[in-house]
C-alpha cells in the first residue's frame, strides 16, 4: 500500500475522462440546443431554491462548512495512514480490500470478482467512480450485464446516453423524452405508459424489481468510508441502493481513495452538509452503512476496491489537492452560469461543472483536459455554495497557470502570445519607444467609426472578432499635458 501512495500515478489506458471535443467546441454545440437549456434552467432553478431554503435553517452553517473543510484537509495530509487503517478494519471484519492503480486494474479486479461468483449480471447503485473507469463497458466486454438501478442512471443507460450531472445524471432529459426511452428500451413496459412522473417511476420500479431479485452480485460506490471502524456509507434517495447493498450474496464497492474519513464523529458533519447541498433536503431518505460481513445477514462476500486513477497525482499538488475534498453534492453545478447554459456533456468528463473543471484535468493530466480550467467566468458562485469550501476559482487560476507553464516547457518555439508579450515589455521599458508606439497606434483612428474599431486586420483580427476596440485618442496624455502646461511657468 505504501508503494501505492509513494509515487503519484496517472490513469492508464482509459479514455472515459478525456473529453472528445475541447470545451469551447462542445459548449457551442450545446448552446444551440434550446430544449437542453430549458431542461437545465428549470431543474437547476428548482434545486437552487430548495437548497437555499434548507441551508438558511441552519444557524451554524458556516461553522459546519469550516468543519467539513478541516476534516478533509486533515485526511489528505495523512491519507496513507487513514487508508491503511481502513484496510485493516475492513479485513478484520471479514471484508477483502483490493488496490487499483488505475481504471484498467479496477475493471480487471471487479470483472474477476463477478466471474468468480459465476454471475453474468450485476445490479448497480449509482456510482460516478464506476462511470469514471468505464466499468459497465468492461463488464459488458466480459459478457456480464450491469443494470443501473438509480432512476436517472437507468434513463441514461437505457437511452445509450452519458450522465450530464453528478446528482441528476439525466437532468438534460424531460419527461416526454424519458417516456419515449422507456417505451423503446424496456421490453416489459405497458405500451399505454404516460409521461406522468409517478407512472414513469412505477414502470422503472417494476422493471428493476425482477433484476433485484435475480442478481447475486451488487456493485456500488461509497460516499464515505470510516477508517476507525472500516464502515462504508452510501446515501441515496430512492431505496434502490439499499436493495443492491443488502439482497445480493456478493457486494463489490469501488471507491476513490479520497472518500475515506477518519472517524464516526466526522460522518455527522458530512451527513448535515451533503443532503442540504445536493437534493436540498434536511436528510436524505436512505443512509446505508455496512462494516465487513455480518454472518447470515446481507452480502456474505464483501469487497472494497480502492481506486487511485490519478488521485495521488492530484494529492501531490498542494493547491490542486483541494479538489479531492469534494463530497459530490453538485451544489457548484447548480449555481454555475456556465454549466446552466452549456450543460454537462460539454465538459467531456463524468465530472461536469466547476468541480469537473478542476478535478478532471488533475486526474487525467492537464493536457488531456486543457480547456476545462478556462470553462468558467470566475464569478465565485461555486465557492460560496461548496459545503467543504473548495476555493474553485483559485484552483481554476492555478490550473490555468500550470497549463501555460507546461505548454511553454513543451514548446520549442515561443507562442504568438509570448512573442507579443515580450514585444510589449520591450516597448514599455523605454519612454521613447513607448511614445513612438503610441504615435504609430494613432494611425488606427482611420479604421474607427463612432469612436470604436470593430475590425482590425490580421493577425489582430482575432482580438476584434468578439469585441470592439476603443479608437486611439487624437493626442496622448503626455501631448495633452504638454499643450495644457505650455504657457505656465
Block residue for cell numbers 431554503 = 53
- Please, what's the b/e burial string for 72-88 (b: 16 or more CB within 10 A of its CB; e: otherwise)? beebbeebbebbbbbbe
Question: Minimum distance from CB of 277 to ligand SF4 (Å)?
Answer: 6
Number of H helices, E strands in the chain: 23, 12
Question: What is the Cα Rg of the chain in Å?
Answer: 27
Question: Minimum distance from CB of 330 to ligand SF4 (Å)?
Answer: 5
Query: Which residue among 169, 221, 256, 387 contacts ligand SF4 (CB under 6 A)?
Result: 387
Judged by CB, which is closer to ligand SF4: 100, or 326? Answer: 326
Strands 301-307 and 96-100: parallel
Judged by CB, which is closer to ligand SF4: 154, or 386? Answer: 386
For CA atoms 192, 196, 199, 203, the dihedral sign is positive
Q: Which of 259, 315, 304 is nearest to 87 (CA)?
A: 304
Round to the nearest angstrom and report the end-to-end CA distance of the chain. Answer: 81
Question: Minimum distance from CB of 280 to ligand SF4 (Å)?
Answer: 13
Name which of residues 322 to 361 contact ligand SF4 (CB under 6 A).
326-332, 355
Q: All 3 cell numbers of residue 409?
A: 516547457
Query: Which residue among 217, 386, 399, 453 contacts ligand SF4 (CB under 6 A)?
Result: 386
396 binds ligand SF4 (CB under 6 A): no
Judged by CB, which is closer to ligand SF4: 144, or 327? Answer: 327
Question: Minimum distance from CB of 386 to ligand SF4 (Å)?
Answer: 3
Rounded to whole angstroms, the Cα distance separating 299 from 292 reads 9
> Are the beta carbons of 333 and 126 closer than 8 angstroms?
no
Question: Minimum distance from CB of 322 to ligand SF4 (Å)?
Answer: 9
Judged by CB, which is closer to ligand SF4: 248, or 353? Answer: 353
- Determine the interface stretch with ligand SF4 among 54-62, 131-139, 379-387, 448-456 (rule: CB under 6 A): 379-387
Rounded to whole angstroms, the Cα distance separating 118 from 114 reads 7
Question: Minimum distance from CB of 75 to ligand SF4 (Å)?
Answer: 14
For 470, phi and psi rounded to 5 degrees? -65, 140
Question: Minimum distance from CB of 120 to ligand SF4 (Å)?
Answer: 35
Judged by CB, which is closer to ligand SF4: 147, or 351? Answer: 351
Question: Minimum distance from CB of 331 to ligand SF4 (Å)?
Answer: 4
Q: Which of 77, 95, 79 is nearest to 87 (CA)?
A: 95
- Determine the interface stretch with ligand SF4 among 88-96, 184-192, 222-230, 383-391 (rule: CB under 6 A): 383-391
Judged by CB, which is closer to ligand SF4: 172, or 179? Answer: 172
> Are the beta carbons of 237 and 279 closer than 8 angstroms?
yes
Query: Which residue among 255, 269, 324, 390 contacts ligand SF4 (CB under 6 A)?
Result: 390
Q: All 3 cell numbers of residue 4?
A: 501505492
Judged by CB, which is closer to ligand SF4: 97, or 346? Answer: 346
Question: Minimum distance from CB of 340 to ligand SF4 (Å)?
Answer: 14
Please state, in angstroms and as integers, the Cα–Cα distance from residue 293 to each residue in 83, 214, 248, 359, following that order.
Answer: 19, 21, 13, 33
Query: Which residue among 154, 385, 395, 453 contacts ligand SF4 (CB under 6 A)?
Result: 385
Question: Minimum distance from CB of 416 to ligand SF4 (Å)?
Answer: 34
Size of the site for ligand SF4 (CB under 6 A): 15
Angle at 331 between CA 326 and CA 335, to 5 degrees: 130
Rounded to whole angstroms, the Cα distance separating 331 from 48 reads 8
Judged by CB, which is closer to ligand SF4: 39, or 223? Answer: 223
Question: Minimum distance from CB of 326 to ligand SF4 (Å)?
Answer: 3
Name which of residues 170 to 199 contact ligand SF4 (CB under 6 A).
none
Question: Minimum distance from CB of 334 to ligand SF4 (Å)?
Answer: 9
Q: Which of 97, 67, 69 is nearest to 4 (CA)?
A: 97
Query: Which residue among 139, 217, 225, 388 contacts ligand SF4 (CB under 6 A)?
Result: 388
Judged by CB, which is closer to ligand SF4: 204, or 329? Answer: 329
Judged by CB, which is closer to ligand SF4: 99, or 383? Answer: 383
Question: Minimum distance from CB of 381 to ligand SF4 (Å)?
Answer: 10
Name which of residues 264 to 303 contact ligand SF4 (CB under 6 A).
277
Name which of residues 138 to 177 contact ligand SF4 (CB under 6 A).
166
Judged by CB, which is closer to ligand SF4: 277, or 349? Answer: 277
Please state, in angstroms and as integers, the Cα–Cα distance from residue 257 to each residue in 87, 311, 357, 457, following that order.
Answer: 11, 7, 20, 53
Judged by CB, which is closer to ligand SF4: 90, or 395? Answer: 395
Rounded to whole angstroms, the Cα distance separating 263 from 227 reads 6
Strands 121-124 and 145-148: parallel
* Strand order across the beta sheet in which 121-124 lies: 96-100, 301-307, 250-256, 217-220, 121-124, 145-148
Block residue for cell numbers 450530464 = 164
Rounded to whole angstroms, the Cα distance separating 393 from 380 reads 6
Judged by CB, which is closer to ligand SF4: 14, or 396? Answer: 396
| Contact residues: ligand SF4, CB under 6 A | 166, 277, 326-332, 355, 385-388, 390
Amino acid at each position: 500500500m505504501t508503494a501505492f501512495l509513494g509515487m503519484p500515478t496517472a490513469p492508464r489506458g482509459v479514455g472515459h475522462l478525456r473529453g472528445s471535443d475541447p470545451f469551447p467546441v462542445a459548449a457551442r454545440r450545446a448552446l444551440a440546443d434550446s430544449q437542453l437549456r430549458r431542461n437545465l434552467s428549470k431543474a437547476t432553478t428548482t434545486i437552487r431554491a430548495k437548497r437555499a431554503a434548507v441551508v438558511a435553517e441552519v444557524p451554524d452553517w458556516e461553522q459546519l462548512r469550516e468543519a467539513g473543510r478541516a476534516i478533509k484537509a486533515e485526511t489528505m495530509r495523512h491519507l496513507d495512514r487513514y487508508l491503511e487503517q481502513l484496510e485493516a478494519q475492513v479485513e478484520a471484519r471479514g471484508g477483502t480490500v483490493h488496490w487499483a492503480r488505475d481504471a484498467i486494474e479496477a475493471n480487471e479486479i471487479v470483472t474477476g470478482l463477478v466471474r468468480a461468483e459465476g454471475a453474468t449480471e450485476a445490479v448497480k447503485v449509482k456510482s460516478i467512480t464506476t462511470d469514471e473507469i468505464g466499468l459497465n463497458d468492461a463488464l459488458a466486454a466480459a459478457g456480464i450485464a450491469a443494470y443501473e438501478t438509480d432512476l436517472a442512471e437507468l434513463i441514461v443507460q437505457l437511452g445509450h446516453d452519458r450522465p450530464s450531472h453528478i446528482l441528476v445524471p439525466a437532468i438534460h432529459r424531460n419527461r416526454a423524452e424519458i417516456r419515449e426511452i422507456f417505451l423503446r428500451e424496456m421490453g416489459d413496459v405497458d405500451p399505454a405508459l404516460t409521461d406522468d412522473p409517478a407512472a414513469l417511476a412505477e414502470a422503472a420500479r417494476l422493471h428493476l424489481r425482477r433484476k433485484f431479485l435475480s442478481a447475486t452480485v451488487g456493485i456500488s460506490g461509497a460516499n464515505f468510508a470510516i477508517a476507525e471502524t472500516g464502515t462504508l456509507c452510501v446515501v441515496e434517495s430512492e431505496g434502490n441502493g439499499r436493495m443492491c447493498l443488502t439482497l445480493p450474496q456478493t457486494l463489490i464497492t469501488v471507491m476513490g481513495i479520497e472518500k475515506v474519513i477518519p472517524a464516526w464523529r466526522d460522518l455527522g458533519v458530512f451527513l448535515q452538509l451533503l443532503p442540504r447541498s445536493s437534493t436540498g433536503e434536511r436528510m436524505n431518505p436512505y443512509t446505508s452503512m455496512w462494516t465487513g460481513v455480518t454472518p447470515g445477514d446481507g452480502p456474505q462476500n464483501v469487497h472494497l476496491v480502492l481506486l487511485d486513477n490519478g488521485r495521488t497525482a492530484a494529492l501531490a499538488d498542494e493547491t490542486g489537492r483541494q479538489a479531492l475534498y469534494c463530497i459530490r453534492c453538485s451544489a457548484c453545478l447548480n449555481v454555475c452560469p456556465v454549466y446552466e447554459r452549456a450543460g454537462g456533456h460539454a465538459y467531456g468528463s463524468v465530472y461536469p461543472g466547476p468541480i469537473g473543471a478542476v478535478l478532471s484535468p488533475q486526474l487525467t493530466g492537464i493536457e488531456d483536459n486543457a480547456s476545462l480550467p478556462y470553462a468558467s467566468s470566475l464569478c465565485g458562485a461555486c465557492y460560496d455554495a461548496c459545503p467543504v469550501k473548495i476555493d474553485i476559482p483559485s484552483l481554476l487560476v492555478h490550473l490555468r497557470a500550470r497549463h501555460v507553464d507546461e505548454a511553454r516547457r513543451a514548446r520549442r518555439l515561443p507562442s504568438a502570445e509570448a512573442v507579443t508579450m515580450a514585444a510589449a515589455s520591450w516597448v514599455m521599458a523605454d519612454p521613447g519607444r513607448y511614445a513612438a508606439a503610441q504615435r504609430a497606434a494613432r494611425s488606427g483612428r482611420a479604421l474607427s467609426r463612432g469612436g470604436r474599431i470593430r475590425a482590425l486586420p490580421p493577425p489582430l483580427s482575432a482580438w476584434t472578432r468578439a469585441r470592439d476596440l476603443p479608437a486611439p485618442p487624437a493626442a496622448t496624455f503626455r501631448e495633452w499635458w504638454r499643450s495644457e502646461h505650455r504657457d505656465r511657468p
